[in-house]
Chains A and B, each alone.
Chain A
Amino acid sequence: MSQPLLQVRDLCASIEEGELLHHVNLDINAGETHVLMGPNGAGKSTLGYTLMGNPGYTVTNGTITLDGEDITNLSTDKRAARGMFLSFQNPLEVPGLSLEAFLRNAIRQQTGKPLKIFQFKKELEATMDLLQMDASYADRDLNVGFSGGEKKKAEILQLLMLNPKLAILDETDSGLDVDAVRTVSKGIEEFQKKRNGALLVITHSTKILESLHVDYTHVLVKGKLVHTGDASLVEEINERGFEQFVNAAAGK
C-alpha cells in the first residue's frame, strides 16, 4: 500500500516555557486505531494540540504529513478541512451560537458547498438519536450549561457529522459515568467500523476501548514516545502501571 494517512517525523514542539515534545515519530494508516497512553503530564494532550495546529504550541523540528501533504505549517481550519478532527478534553462554551448553527456552518466551510438542509436535518436527528441526545440540544448554545457527559456526546456528534479521516480523541471518556461511556463508545464504534475512520485515542482507562478494535498502543513519557505495542499493551499497563516505561525512559 501507499503512504500512511498520518506521518509524524522527528516532531518537537514547544511552548514559551520550554520543549514539551521530543522527536516524536508516528505513522497512522487509514482506518487504524492507535491508543496513546502515558502518565499525567507526559504531553499526550500536547501531541493532540500540536497535530491539530494549536497556535499556542510551536513546532520547532520535524514534520506532520497528512495524505502525503506536509501540513506542519497549515492553520487549524485547513487541517480540519483536509480531514483531521480533535475531540476536546474540555469542550469550550460559545454563548449565542447554537449547536446546530455551528454544525451547519462548519460543514459549509469544510465542503465549500451549500448545505443540503433536508439531508443535514435527517442525519443530525439520526446521529443524535444514536448518541441518546435529546433533540432540544440542537437549539441550545454550544456546550453552554451542558453536563460533562452531554459535552462529550456533542463532541462525538460533531465527529460523526463532519466525518473526518482521522480523529484524535483527547480523554473523551474522562469524567463520564458508565452509561455515558457506553453511549459515547457506540458513536466512536460507528466512526471506526462503519466509516473506516482512523483514530488516535488518548485515554487513561480501558472502558472506552472495550468495544473498539485497537491496532497499536503507544506510551508517551515526558514528551517522548518510549514504547509501542499491540492491543494487549493496554491490559498490561492497566495491571502494572507506567512504572517500567518511566524507569526505562530515565535509564534505570
Chain B
Amino acid sequence: MADQEIREVDRSLYDFKDDESQGFFRMKEGLTREIVEQISQDKNDPAWMHDFRLKCLELYNNMSVPNWGPSIDGLDMDHISNYVRSKTDMKGSWNDLPDDIKNTFEKLGIPQAERESLAGVGAQYDSELVYHNLQQEVADQGVVYTGFEDAVNGEYSEMVKEYFMKLVPPTDHKFAALHGAVWSGGSFVYVPKGVHVEVPLQSYFRLNAKGAGQFEHTLIIVDEGADVHFIEGCSAPKYNTANLHAGCVELYVKKNARLRYSTIENWSKNMYNLNTKRAIVEEGGTMEWVSGSFGSHVSYLYPTTILKGDGSHCEFTGITFAGNGQNLDTGAKMIHIGRETSSYINTKSISKDGGVSTYRSSIQIMPTAKKAKASVDCASLMLDDQSRSDTIPAMDIRTADADVGHEAKIGRISDEAVFYLMSRGISESEARAMIVSGFADPVSKELPLEYAAEMNNLIKLEMEGM
C-alpha cells in the first residue's frame, strides 16, 4: 500500500514531465501572473479582490518555505501552478479514483450518489437537495450561509472585504500568501446577534459539490450572543488530483458568542496539507475546536485562537493518526490577551507502521492577560517499534498570576491488554482497534453521533492497514 501511495505521488510528477516535454506547460518560474489573473477573471472578482490576489502573488514569490517541521521536499514548488491549474481540470470520473479511497467509501457505507459528490467527481448531486433543505432552515433564522465566491460578490461583500484575510494576513507565511493569490471556493457564514443555530452547519455538501477543496476559504462571523456549530470536511476522504491543500479558515467570535468548529480530515495519502486556521474571541466568547487528522502525506496544522476579550475561553480537542508514510505535525496555539481568559488543549496522537506524529503547541500569555488559565494535556500512543511520536510544547508566560498546567503521556499498546481482549474471543486486529478507539474516545465524545461513528470506522480501517 505504501509503495502504491508513493507511486501515486511520483506518477503525477512524471505525468507532468511528459506534458512538459510536449510543450503544454512552461511554468518553471512558479506561479504566474497569468494564472492568477485567469482565476480572478473566472471568479468575477471585484477590483479589490483582484488587486489583493496580485499583491499576494508578489508576497508569495518573495517568501521562502518553512524551514522547520516535516520535510515538504516532495512538494514541487517550482511547478506550484500545476497544483493550482489541476483544480480547474477536476472532472475525473468515479472510476479514476484510487482503489483505497473507493474502498473507504464502500466500507463507510456511503451510498453511491453521495460518494461521488463527496469525491467531488459527480456531475449531478443528489446531495444538492439535502444542501438546499439545510440552507433554507438556516436562512429562516436569518443566518447567512453561502459559497465564498457568492459572498465576495453578493449582499455581504462589504463584510467580506472588512474581514477577509485580516486574521490570517498573506504576510503570515508562504502558503497563506499562496492561498490569498489563488483561493477558490469555501464558505461564508454570518450568524446575527443572539441567534442560536440548532443544527450544525455542514460544509461538505458545498465544498465537494463544487469541486473546490484545495484552496478553499472559510470565513465565519458569529455575532454577539450567537451560537453555532460548523462541521468542516466530514470524514469522507476528498480526492484531489493535485496534492497540495492550502486552505484558510478565519473565525470571528464576538462578545458572548460561541462557535464550535469540528473537522474530521481524511485526505488522500499523497496530500501535503498546509492549512491555516485561526480564531479571534471577544469578551465572554467561547471557541471550541474539535479536530481529527487522519489523511495526508504531510500535515502542518495548528489552529490558533486569540483570546482577545476579557473572560474569553477556548477548548481544543484533537486527534491525529499517522500511519505508514505519514508525517503529521499538528497541535494548537493559544494567545491570551484579555483578563481571566482560559484555554484547554486536549490532544491524542496515534502512530502506526512507521508513521510520525508530532504534537506541537504554543501557549502565550501576554502581560495584559491577568489571571489567565491554560492547561495542556497531550497523550500519544505508538502501535509498534517503527513509529514515532514527538511532543513539542512551548509556553511563553508574561504574567505572574497565570495558572498553567501541562501533562504529556506517551505509551504503547500493551501486549497483555491485547491478550486480555483476545481471551474473550476478540481477534487481534479488532482488539487493537478497540484499544485505539478507546484511546480516541474523549475526542469521539465531542463529535455528533454520525461523525463519531465515522471516526471509529476510520480508526478501524487504519488499523486494518488499508
Contact = CB atoms under 8 A, between A and B. Distances in A.
A88 B420 CA distance: 8
Contacts of A75: 422, 428
Contacts of A55: 415, 419
B314 to A, nearest CB: 24
B425 A162 contact: yes
A80 B439 contact: no
Contacts of B425: 77, 80-81, 106, 109-110, 162
B419 A97 contact: no
A102 B425 CA distance: 11
A102 B423 CA distance: 12
Contacts of A88: 420, 423
Q: Which of B426, B441, B442 has the largest count of A CB atoms less than 10 A from its CB?
A: B426
Contact of A97 (B415, B427, B438): B438
A162 B415 contact: no
Contact of B417 (A92, A105, A141, A162): A92
Interface in B375-428: 414-417, 419-428
B422 A94 contact: no
B380 to A, nearest CB: 14
Interface string A42-56: 000000000010111
Given A77-B422, A92-B416, A109 B440 contact: no
Contacts, number: 77
A122 B455 CA distance: 30
Interface residues of B, number: 24
Contact of B423 (A52, A96, A105, A109): A52
B419 A76 contact: yes
A81 B427 CA distance: 10
Interface residues of A, number: 28
Contacts of A245: none
A85 B419 CA distance: 12
Q: Which of B424, B427, B431, B435 has the largest count of A CB atoms less than 10 A from its CB?
A: B424
A91 interface: yes
A94 B421 contact: yes
Given A95-B441, A96-B437, A96-B441, A86 B423 contact: yes
A97 B426 contact: no
Interface string A80-113: 1100011010011111110000100110011000
Contacts of B427: 77, 109
A80 B422 contact: yes
Interface in A126-181: 141, 158, 162
A94 B434 contact: yes
Contacts of A94: 417, 420-421, 434-435, 438
12 contacts: A55-B415, A77-B422, A77-B427, A80-B424, A85-B423, A93-B417, A96-B442, A97-B434, A102-B434, A105-B430, A106-B421, A162-B425
Given A92-B414, A93-B417, 17 more contacts: A76-B423, A77-B422, A77-B428, A91-B420, A92-B416, A92-B417, A94-B417, A94-B420, A95-B439, A96-B441, A97-B438, A102-B421, A102-B424, A105-B426, A106-B421, A110-B425, A141-B438
Interface of A: 52, 54-56, 75-77, 79-81, 85-86, 88, 91-97, 102, 105-106, 109-110, 141, 158, 162
Interface of B: 414-417, 419-428, 430-431, 434-435, 437-442
The 5 A-B residue pairs whose C-beta atoms are closest, nearest first, are A96-B438, A96-B441, A110-B425, A80-B425, A76-B422
